[in-house]
Every structure is written in structure tokens, then in C-alpha cells.
Amino acid sequence: GGKPTTATIQADKPGPVYDRLIFTQFAEHLGNGIYGGLWVGNDKSIPNTNGFRNDVVAALRNLNVPAIRWPGGCFADEYHWRDGIGPKARRPVKVNTHWGGVTEPNSVGTHEFMELVRQIGAEPYIAGNVGNGTAREMAEWVEYMTAPAGSLAEERARNGRKEPWKVPYFGVGNELWGCGGNMRPEFAADETRRFATFVKAPAGTKIVKIAAGANVDDYSWTDAMMRIAGSQIDGLSLHYYVHPAGGWPPRAPAVDFDETGWADALAGAWRMEELIAKHSAIMDKYDPQKRVFLAVDEWGAWYAQDPGTHPGFLRQQNTLRDALIASIHLDIFARHADRVRMTAIAQMVNVLQAMILTEGRKMVLTPTYHVFEMYKPWQDATVLPIAIDTPWYGKDRFTMPAVSGSAVRGKDGKVHVGLSNLDPNVANTVTVKLEGLSAGTVSGRVLTAPAINAHNSFDAPEAVKPAPFTGARIDGGTLTVALPPKSVVVLDLQ
């Protein structure tokens, strides 16, 4: 056994709210993220409601997905909303130039996306086109969706929707430093000011505007955006992916990795801590009140795509390693919940670090899905400070704290504690001092598996799934947790 871990939870010093929007999902027109994964249209062989598959929608409903970011990603900055409204037979077929060069039938457009959001019980987070669209086109899309009256509202009604939709969150472009237009930061900030000006909410409503933020550690981008456009926006995004095996382009296999690949990826997840701290410090300089939030609206692991899958579809399996990547991120977001009030894992179905994989009519829930399900009590909970003193785990040059964790007081009034043991070989007993809290009982669940690369396949869909956890007890003011190697544990105290 390794050196034990000690921790203190200060239940009497409640922190910020852990915004439910931290569990936002990202669904891009990419590979089978939308077509096949969510939308099957008229394919009667796959049970669906108004074109969206019932199995996938039910699984996502169970996660309480708060919001869905759509239609991209890179796709957003070349998307023209008028291509996706009106009779399907008359919608133009385009080429998806970013993702695989396949045809984009535009069968899923604004009305269909809003139907998906309704079925899942989420809110829409629409990403507008700054890259090759105009400010007028963006303004008219917003008007089409939200206006109570006028000719665009009448067109919307003719297309089947009389009532305006609510568009609570709107992205002013995506990755303007790259696929969104290869802009320099000052120019992007000016463009953001101009486009954001014309994103107007109808009287009595509010549209939260999120600007296209930095790539990874591009701190000068955040600085320019905050300095030039900070007063015009409500949120600023940040994109960071975990790329083991040497960074871009993604080359690490999703399943066929050894312990070095495990440690490399988990150290990559830990890097998010430093990135958020440094971007937040820049935002603090311009916005000490923390009015503008940091929206980490693309995160997760990005590996080489699975062998034999369509190029450009970014299809990757999801293992126990991805579960730990997810829990490490969710714990980091707790420590920064004062500034990080929205994040979106990339992506929801069949793309990158997905919740769900489908193939034809088959569906499987990934280990990442199970972590999101286990962390549901974090949604809109109050963060409780937790200080963790843990040994280090490392393999080769990849080292990190062995135990990650976060604690919240849920909306149910109970205290929930998440603890992950990143060490794949050594169990760790965590002794947690509970301050300002008199809990008598503890129960919980654990997600683990015999192998570091254990995963769920269509043949073995339950190889990695949560199980009841019996390794925790409370004695007086002390919680003791026997964390198995390579595990995520979530506890409920009462």
C-alpha cells in the first residue's frame, strides 16, 4: 500500500454554486454525432420520436443534461441557418468540409435541434457563424428563433413553430484563432464586439453571449478579448483537449495503451487546473467582480480515431481511463466554480470523449457517461472546500497527485463527496476530517474495472458500470474511504 491520503472538508465554509451548466454537452455536425447517433429521421427500424432515437434521448434525459451546444465547433463558422429550415426536400445538400468531406443533408436544422433539446429537457446553446457569415445573418437567426412577431416570426410559424423559442446562450463564433477565421486576437475581439452588438434578445428576455476564447495556453488571446471586448460579453470560452503521446495531431490509441499512456493522459487532465488558474488570473485583472464567466466549452480526450472508422469522424472508444479524465476535470471545475460557470465536454454521442456510442440500432453507455451520472448531485450544488494531502502517482515522466476529489452540498441538502484514485496499482485509504458537519451514515457507488483500458462494447455493454461501494465509514467527525486502485467513488453523507 502507498502513503495514505488525508483531507479536510469545511462544510461550514460554503463556496460558490457548482453551476449545472458545467454539465453542458456539445453536439456538432461531425461524423455520427448527429446523423445516426441522435437523428435517424424516417428510419423506422430504429425506434424514434420525430426523428430522434428513443434509446439515446432516454439515456441523455437520465443525465439531466442542462444545455446542448450546437451546431459546432468548426462547423458553426460555415453554417448558414437558412439551409436548415423549411421543407426537407428543398434544403440544400452541402459538403461538410471540416469533417470527412461527407454530404450534409441539412435534415437537422433549427427546428429539429429545438425538438431534440425539448425531448432531452435541456436548453439550447447556439453557436453563431462569425467566420464566413455576416452580422446580419446572425442577427436574423436570433430574430427567427426568438421574435414574437414580424415576418421572420411568421416564417417560423409557417415552418411549424408559432411560439418563439428561448435562446438563453449564444456563442459569438468558435475558435476564431483557427477554423473560425484564422483571426489575430485584436481583430477577433473587434469582430466579437461588432457581431455581439446585433445579437438582441426580445424585451423581457436575456441572451447570454459567449465569445470565442483561447486555445489551451494562449493567454494573450484571453488578455486581448477581455481588454477589448470584455464589456460586451457575458462569457469567454476556453478549449483544451487531452492529447497523450506527444500532442497534436492526435495519435494515441483509445484502447490499446499501457500504463505510460494511462499516466500521460491523466497528467494531461490535471493540466486543466493550471490553465484555468492562469486564464482566470487574466480575467480577474479586467473583471475582478467575475461578471464574465469562463466557459470551458470544449474539453476531453482526443485520441487517434478507432481503426477502420471513417476519416474525419473522430470516433474513439472510451475506457476506464476516460472515466478518470472526466472526474479529474469535474473536480477541477469545483475548485474554480466562481469563474467557471459553464463547460461542455466534447462531444455528446459517437465523437471524441462521448457519453454514448451507437452503431446502427445498437447503443452503449461509456465509462464517461457513468461519471456524469454519478456526479449528478453536483448540478447547482454548493461547493464545499476540500483540502487533500495525497502522495504522488507517476509513471515515467508523468506525475500527478494520486487522489483527486471534490465535495458539495447538494440541492437535496446532503453532502456528496467524489474521490478518484489515479494510481492503477495501489489502493489508497483516505481519511477525511469533516468540519461543520455531523453526518452519521455514508453510502456510495464505485466505478472501476480489472484493466486500465476496460471499456463497454456492443457485445459487452456493462464491463464498466457503477457498483455499490462498501469501503467507506463515518466515525465521529471522520470519514474513512478505502479507495481501490483506478477508481471513481461518489459518496452521499447524511
Binding stretches for ligand AHR (CB under 6 A): 28, 72-74, 174-175, 298, 346-347, 352
How far is the CA of 175 from the CAs of 147, 179, 212, 316, 347, in angstroms? 28, 6, 6, 23, 16
Alpha helices in 131-218 (DSSP H): 135-146, 151-158, 185-197
Three-class DSSP labels, 408-439: EECCCCCEEEEEEECCCCCCEEEEEEEECCCC
C-alpha cell at 199: 445579437
- Find the residue with minimal CB distance to ligand AHR: 73
Closer Cβ to ligand AHR, 73 or 230, answer by number: 73
Closer Cβ to ligand AHR, 295 or 383, answer by number: 295
Counting every residue, how long is the chain? Answer: 494
Closer Cβ to ligand AHR, 25 or 347, answer by number: 347
Q: How far is the CB of 175 from ligand AHR (least distance, A)?
A: 5
Closer Cβ to ligand AHR, 65 or 489, answer by number: 65
The one-character DSSP state at 470 is: -
C-alpha cell at 234: 457575458
> Please, are residues 18 and 378 in contact by the beta-carbon 8 Å criterion?
yes
The one-character DSSP state at 228 is: I
How far is the CA of 345 from the CAs of 36, 348, 484, 494, in angstroms? 20, 7, 26, 31
Distance of alpha carbon 172 from alpha carbon 131, whole angstroms: 10
Q: How far is the CB of 347 from ligand AHR (least distance, A)?
A: 6
Phi, psi of 227 (to 5 degrees): -70, -40
For the chain, counts of helices (H) and of strands (E): 9, 28
Closer Cβ to ligand AHR, 71 or 466, answer by number: 71
Which residues belong to the active site? 175, 298
**Number of C-beta neighbours around residue 21 at 10 A:** 24
> Please, are residues 290 and 230 in contact by the beta-carbon 8 Å criterion?
no
How far is the CA of 334 from the CAs of 16, 108, 273, 297, in angstroms? 9, 35, 10, 16
Closer Cβ to ligand AHR, 351 or 432, answer by number: 351
Closer Cβ to ligand AHR, 5 or 318, answer by number: 318
Bridge partners for 342 per DSSP: 295
C-alpha cell at 456: 463497454
Extract the runs of DSSP E, i.e. beta strands, from 244-321.
293-301
Q: How far is the CB of 42 from ligand AHR (least distance, A)?
A: 28
> Please, are residues 5 and 409 in contact by the beta-carbon 8 Å criterion?
no
> Please, are residues 107 and 133 in contact by the beta-carbon 8 Å criterion?
no
Q: How far is the CB of 73 from ligand AHR (least distance, A)?
A: 3
Q: Classify residue 415 as exposed, middle or buried by CB count within 10 Å of its CB (0-12, 13-18, 19+).
A: buried
Closer Cβ to ligand AHR, 143 or 298, answer by number: 298
Nearest-CA neighbor of 323 among 276, 264, 380, 372? Answer: 372
C-alpha cell at 209: 453571449
Phi, psi of 347 (to 5 degrees): -130, -175
